[in-house]
Structure 1
Amino acid sequence: MPGENLSRDEAHERAALLSVDGYEVALDLRSAVGESTEAVRTFRSVTTIRFRRTGEGDTTFADLVAPSVTSVTLNGRELDPAVVFDGARITLDGLADENVLVVDAQCAYSRTGEGLHRFVDPEDGEVYLYTQYEPADARRVYANFEQPDLKAPYRFEVTAPDAWTVWSNGAGERGADGVWRFAETAPISTYITCVVAGPYHYVTDTYRRGDVEIPLGAMCRKGLAKHFDADDVFLVTKQGFDFFHDNFDYPYPFGKYDQAFVPEYNLGAMENPGMVTFTEEYIYRGKVTRAAYERRANTILHEMAHMWFGDLVTMVWWDDLWLKESFADFMGSFSLAEATRFTDSWVTFANNRKAWAYRADQLPSTHPVTADIRDLEDAKLNFDGITYAKGASVLKQLVAYAGRDAFLEGARRYFKRHAYG
C-alpha cells in the first residue's frame, strides 16, 4: 500500500484519466471549542467533487487522510468505507463519463501545522484555526485529488461558533442560518485553498488604482492586536500591487486580499490566493531593526508575486517547485528595491539569501536547482536554500543576461497564455 505518499507517475496517470469541474466543501468547526474527552478532536467534512473521465479506464482514487469516513457515494451509489477507504485513499471503481463523488468524513484538527491547525491562546483561552496544505495536506481537511495540475473552482461553506469570523480564498458572509458561505474561486490547486477561523483581530483597507479596486484585510489573534502595525503591512501591500500591476500587465485575479498572521506556524508564509498566511513572528512586540521590517516586507512581496507565478499559473508537478519559489524569491528583492523604502534589498539578497544558498550547497544534501521529485516525500525535502535562493540567483543572472524588459515581457506573455493552467 502506498500510505500517504503519492508518486509522480501516479499523479500523471490520474491527470490523464480525469479532469475536475468543481468542489463543494462543507466544514463544521463548532467542535473546536469546549471540552473534549476524545483522544483526537475531530470535525465534520463533507465534500462533493464533480469530475469527468477524459481518458481510458474506469478506476481511480481520491485522497483523504482522516480518522474515519462516515459515507462515500459515487454517482448515487453507496460505497462501503471499510472496503474503499484505507486511511489515505478512497478507491473509485466504475467511473462514468461524468461523475459526482460525495464523501462525509471526520477529519482531525492538527497540532503540528499540517491540515487544519488548532491553537489555544494560553493568555485568554481563545481558540484559533488556520489551514496549511503545501505540498499535500488539503486531504487532511477534505477529500480531493491532491496534485497541483488538477485545478478546479471551489465553493466553501463553514459552520463555526457564533462569536467567530471565518475567512477563505473568496469573499464570504454568514447567512441567516449561521453558516459562512464563500464565493466560488477561480480554478486553483488543492494546496493553495485555505480556511482561517476564530476571534481574530481584523483590520481593513482598500487598494485603488484606476479601475482596479481590491479589498484588503490583515488579522492577528486578539492578544497581539496592541502590537499589530497593520498600517505598514498595508503600505507595503499597496506598493507591491503598484509594482506588479505595472510590470505584469495582468490585474490581480483573485478578488480580495487578506493577510493572516497566525500562531505556531511551521514556515514564513503561504501564498493562498486571497488569503495569505504568515507567521505571527512578523508582529513585533518591541523595537526591532530596519532589517526585520525589510524581511517582513520581502515576505509580503514574495507571496504577492506568487499570485501570478504559482497561483494563476502553476507547476504540473513538484519538479518545478524550484521555479515557482525562485521566481518569487527574485521578485521579492526586485520589487522591494524598486517600489518600497528598502532600496538596498539586493545587498540584503547577496548577504543573506545567497549565503543561505551557499550553505545549502555545501551540505551532503545538496542537489541540482532542478531536482528530480519522484513523489511527495521528495517534494517535502526540497524546500531549501537551493530551491529558493540559488534558483533566484540563477534568475538574477538571466535578467542580467537577457535584460529586464525581455524577462518581464516573457512573464507577461506567459500569464496571458497559461492563465489558470
Structure 2
Amino acid sequence: MYPANITRDEAAARSAVVRVKGYQVDVDLSGTADVGEYDPTALFVSTSTVTFALASSGKTHLNLIADKLLSATLDGKPLPADAFADNKVNFTAKKGEHQLTISALCRFSRTGEGLHRFVDPVDDKVYCYTQFETADARRMYACFEQPDLKGSFALTVLAPSHWTVLSNSPAVQPTEAGPELARWEFAPTPPISTYITALIAGEFHTVTDHYSGPAGEIPLTLACRESLAEHLDAERILNTTKAGFTVFAQAFGMALPFPDYAQIFVPEFNAGAMENAGCITIRDEYLYRSRVTQASYETRDNTILHELAHMWFGDLVTMTWWDDLWLNESFAEWASHYAQAEIRQATGVGSDPWATFTNGRKNWAYRADQLPSTHPVAADMVDLEAVELNFDGITYA
C-alpha cells in the first residue's frame, strides 16, 4: 500500500479550485534549529511558504508527511491545532490569493523517498539528496502534491559551510550564517511540478564545465561522493551530455528550458536516475570501478540522454495526472535512442542504438506483457498505489 495515498479524483477536485503561484522552502540541515531537542542525523526542520489562489471559497489541504507540525499560519493567522491530520494540512479559505506557511520537523529517508541521508562508510562524509517521484516532495516540505499544480520553487538551505548545495536553480555563493555554517539562497524556478524539485547537499566532489550551442549557454556540473572521485568519468559524461543538448535543441526547436544543468551521482538510489528540473540524480553504480564492456558505457549514455530528454518532455510539458506516465517515459525512451543514433552517425562510434532497443527495451515490454500484471499502455491510474505498479516495460518501452 502506498503511504498516504492520493486519488485521481481528489487531485482533480483540488486542481479545479487551486492555482499555485510559488513555494519558498527553507530547509535547516545544520542541526541547530531552535525547536527543542531532536536528533539531527534523523530529523531536519523545513518551512514552506506557499502562495496560491482559490477560484472559490471552501475547504482544501496541503500534503505533508512529517514527524511533527511546528507551526501553521494562513495569511498570518494560526491554523487550529488539529489542522494537521492524516498527512494533510487542512484549511478553509475564501476565494482569492492566500499565503500559507508551514513549519515542520521532517525525517530523513533511509530508503530513497523524500530527503535521503547517507554516511559514506569509507570516510564518514555525509550526503543528502531528494527523490520525489511520484509524491514524496511532501516528505521535505508542505505542498500541493500533484503534477498539474505547478509553481515556482525557491529554496534556501542552512548547512555546514564546507558542504556543496545544489538545487533546480543555478548554484549560488553561500553566505556566512554562524560558526561553520552557511546559507544558500536559490532563485525561483519557472513553474514546475513538485515531484521534480530537488535538494542536493553534502561533501561532494564536483567538476564544472560549460555548453555553448543550439541549446543555449548552459553551466554544467557533475558531482559524486569524494570516495568515488577517481571513478568520475567526467570527459565522457560531459561529451555525451553536450551532444545530447545539441541533438534535442535541434529536434525540438527550442533551447534547454532551464538555466543550468547538474548531474549528481548518488548512493543508495532506489531508481536508475531522476529528471529533476536542471538537477539530475543518477545512481552511482554508473561510476564504474573497474573495466566494463562497451555496452555498459552505452547503457549509461542512454540513461544520461533519457533524463536530458525529460527536460523538454516531462518537466516543461507535464502530464495532468499519472494516467499519462507512459507518454512521459516512452517518449524519453524513444528520444534517448534517437539521440544515440544521431551521435553515432556524427561520430561513427558505438553500436546501433535501435538494435539495442529492439533486443533490450522492446523485449522488456514483451516480458511484462506476458505477466499476470500486464496492463494497457494508457493505464487507469486511479491513485498512487496504481501508479507504483506501472513503472515497468510496458510503460517505458
Which bin holds the TM-score, normalised by the shorter protein?
A: over 0.9
**One-letter amino acid of the counterpart of residue 120, structure 2:** D
Counterpart CA distance in 2 for 1:210 and 1:274 is 17
1:336 aligns to what?
340
> Is residue 208 of structure 1 aligned with residue 212 of structure 2?
yes
Per-residue CA deviations over 1:24-53 (Å, capped at 9, x if unaligned) read 000001239xxx984981100000000001
Q: 2:281 aligns with which of 277, 284, 290?
A: 277
2:372 aligns to what?
364
Counterpart CA distance in 1 for 2:233 and 2:252 is 29
CA contact (8 A) 1:66 1:87 kept: no
Q: By how many angstroms is 1:77 displaced?
A: 1.3
Q: 1:237 aligns with which of 236, 241, 245?
A: 241
Helix, strand or coil at the partner of 1:92: strand
Q: How does 1:14-413 map to 2 (within 5 A)?
A: 14-31=14-31, 38=39, 41-54=42-55, 56-81=56-81, 83-171=82-170, 172-177=172-177, 178-209=182-213, 212-340=216-344, 341-389=349-397
CA contact (8 A) 2:148 2:319 kept: yes
Helix, strand or coil at the partner of 1:30: coil
The change in CA–CA distance for 1:16 and 1:210 in structure 2 (over 3 A counts) is closer
Helix, strand or coil at the partner of 2:141: coil
**One-letter amino acid of the counterpart of residue 347, structure 1:** A
**One-letter amino acid of the counterpart of residue 108, structure 1:** R
Helix, strand or coil at the partner of 2:60: strand
Helix, strand or coil at the partner of 2:385: helix
Helix, strand or coil at the partner of 1:173: coil
Counterpart CA distance in 2 for 1:122 and 1:336 is 36
CA contact (8 A) 1:52 1:99 kept: yes
Task: Give the TM-score, by structure 1 length.
Answer: 0.88
**One-letter amino acid of the counterpart of residue 159, structure 2:** A
CA contact (8 A) 1:63 1:144 kept: yes
Instruction: Structure 1: state its 5+ residue gaps.
Output: 390-421
CA contact (8 A) 1:71 1:80 kept: no
Q: By how many angstroms is 1:176 displaced?
A: 3.7
Instruction: Name the % identity.
Output: 52
Counterpart CA distance in 2 for 1:278 and 1:189 is 19
How many pairs align? 383
Instruction: Structure 2: state its 5+ residue gaps.
Output: none
Helix, strand or coil at the partner of 1:31: coil
The change in CA–CA distance for 1:161 and 1:303 in structure 2 (over 3 A counts) is same
CA contact (8 A) 1:170 1:184 kept: yes
Helix, strand or coil at the partner of 2:16: helix
**One-letter amino acid of the counterpart of residue 200, structure 1:** F
Q: By how many angstroms is 1:212 displaced?
A: 2.2
**One-letter amino acid of the counterpart of residue 13, structure 1:** A
Counterpart CA distance in 1 for 2:67 and 2:369 is 40
The change in CA–CA distance for 1:5 and 1:225 in structure 2 (over 3 A counts) is same
Q: By how many angstroms is 1:380 displaced?
A: 1.1
Q: By how many angstroms is 1:211 displaced?
A: 8.6
Q: Which has the higher helix share?
A: 1
**One-letter amino acid of the counterpart of residue 370, structure 1:** A
Q: By how many angstroms is 1:75 displaced?
A: 1.2
Counterpart CA distance in 2 for 1:135 and 1:211 is 28
The change in CA–CA distance for 1:213 and 1:3 in structure 2 (over 3 A counts) is closer
Per-residue CA deviations over 1:238-294 (Å, capped at 9, x if unaligned) read 110010111111110101100000000001000011100000010000100000000
Q: By how many angstroms is 1:173 displaced?
A: 2.5
Q: CA RMSD for the aligned pairs?
A: 1.7
Per-residue CA deviations over 1:164-196 (Å, capped at 9, x if unaligned) read 010000013312432101121010000000000
Counterpart CA distance in 2 for 1:133 and 1:43 is 17
CA contact (8 A) 1:4 1:88 kept: yes
Counterpart CA distance in 2 for 1:211 and 1:313 is 17
CA contact (8 A) 1:207 1:215 kept: yes
Task: Give the TM-score, by structure 2 length.
Answer: 0.94
CA contact (8 A) 2:215 2:254 kept: no
